[in-house]
């Protein structure tokens, strides 16, 4: 994981983590400063694991105990403006609903930028630009994001389609993927079985995979060629799509910029077509 230079840096060794330890690590990564004011019981209650599991966790990730972890994080916090920013963003819970939702949206955007990796982002742009065939797996609430990607990137000449099928029928889609193909997957909360099959089959065929997820620590993080994080809120909260949309729109613009003149020429031709057939096909 990669954040800005002025943000709290938590580096985990995930190679020997159990499923419950992945959950603990993900919670701490998302709420590091809150955790500094918490007890092990608070963390256990939030993640719904035992206190003993939390106590064992620190040794797994390289600390003597919870106190040792707090000391290292607080030494970073002394030079980090993140704590101040989060306290400001946390205000306004008694304001009218629209302002409250706006505050939440800004917080999600801020957390997304905290964990933004320019390396992963540039890699995703390169993969999409070089792709001969791009497919998007976007189940449930991510369907709108998939449609946005397809609509915008097709204008730049990309062969991009949404993988509509699920279950064993999805194998019909995988049959046509090759080494120069790319699959964009949305994995919010968890990866569905179809997504895991897509990732597994990529090892055999060699097509590239990009995951956009709201999980900072997950067992699938290292299975894709590129993983990008977008904050959406906790499991018990309303899941906002503001940050994922922000990430997707930036991805679209960056892909367009890779072949700027060609992209602009295509958009210009689209404008000409609209003018030419404005009477037959009014907008």
In a domain, 229, yes or no: yes
CATH of residue 184's domain is 3.40.50.10490
- On whether both 69 and 125 belong to a single domain, the answer is no
- On whether both 24 and 130 belong to a single domain, the answer is no
- On whether both 160 and 61 belong to a single domain, the answer is no
In a domain, 3, yes or no: no
**In angstroms, what is the C-alpha Rg of the chain?**
21
pLDDT at residue 35 in the model: 86
267-275 average pLDDT score: 87
Read off the pLDDT of residues 47-102 as tens digits, 9 standing for 90 and up.
999 999 999 999 888 889 998 888 887 776 554 545 544 544 555 545 556 777 78
Q: 40-47 and 19-30 helices cross at what angle (nearest 10)?
A: 110
Domain boundary among 40, 62, 77: 77
Residue 282: pLDDT over 90: no
The span from the CA of 92 to the CA of 102, in Å, is: 10
DSSP state of 140: G
In a domain, 97, yes or no: no
Domain that residue 25 falls in: 19-77
**SS3 assignment, position 212:** strand
In a domain, 282, yes or no: no
- On whether both 41 and 125 belong to a single domain, the answer is no
- On whether both 121 and 63 belong to a single domain, the answer is no
Give the CA distances from residue 158 to residues 60, 186, 205, 208, 226, in Å, rounded to whole numbers and listed in that order.
Answer: 44, 19, 21, 15, 19
- On whether both 211 and 133 belong to a single domain, the answer is yes
Total domains in the chain come to: 2
Question: What is the length of the chain?
Answer: 283
């Amino acid at each position: 994981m990669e954040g800005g230079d002025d943000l709290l840096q938590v580096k985990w060794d995930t190679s020997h983590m159990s499923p419950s330890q992945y959950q603990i690590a993900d919670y701490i990564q998302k709420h590091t400063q809150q955790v500094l004011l918490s007890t092990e019981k608070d963390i256990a209650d939030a993640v719904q694991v035992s206190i003993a599991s939390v106590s064992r966790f620190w040794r797994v990730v390289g600390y003597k105990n919870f106190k040792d972890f707090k000391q290292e994080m607080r030494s970073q916090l002394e030079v980090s403006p993140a704590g101040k920013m989060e306290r400001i963003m946390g205000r306004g819970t008694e304001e009218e609903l629209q302002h409250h939702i706006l505050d939440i949206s800004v917080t999600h955007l801020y957390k997304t930028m905290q964990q933004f990796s320019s390396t992963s982002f540039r890699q995703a742009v390169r993969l999409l630009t070089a792709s001969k065939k791009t497919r998007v797996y976007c189940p449930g609430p991510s369907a709108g994001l998939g449609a946005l990607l397809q609509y915008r990137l097709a204008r730049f000449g990309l062969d991009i389609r949404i993988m509509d099928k699920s279950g064993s029928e999805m194998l019909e889609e995988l049959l046509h993927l090759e080494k120069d193909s790319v699959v964009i997957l949305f994995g919010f909360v968890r990866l569905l079985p179809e997504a895991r099959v897509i990732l597994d089959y990529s090892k055999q065929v060699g097509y590239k995979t990009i995951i956009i997820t709201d999980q900072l620590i997950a067992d699938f993080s290292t299975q894709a060629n590129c993983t990008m994080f977008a904050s959406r809120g906790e499991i018990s909260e309303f899941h906002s799509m503001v940050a994922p949309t922000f990430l997707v729109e930036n991805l679209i613009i960056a892909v367009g910029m890779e072949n700027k003149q060609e992209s602009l020429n295509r958009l210009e031709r689209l404008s000409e077509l609209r003018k030419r057939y404005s009477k037959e096909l009014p907008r």
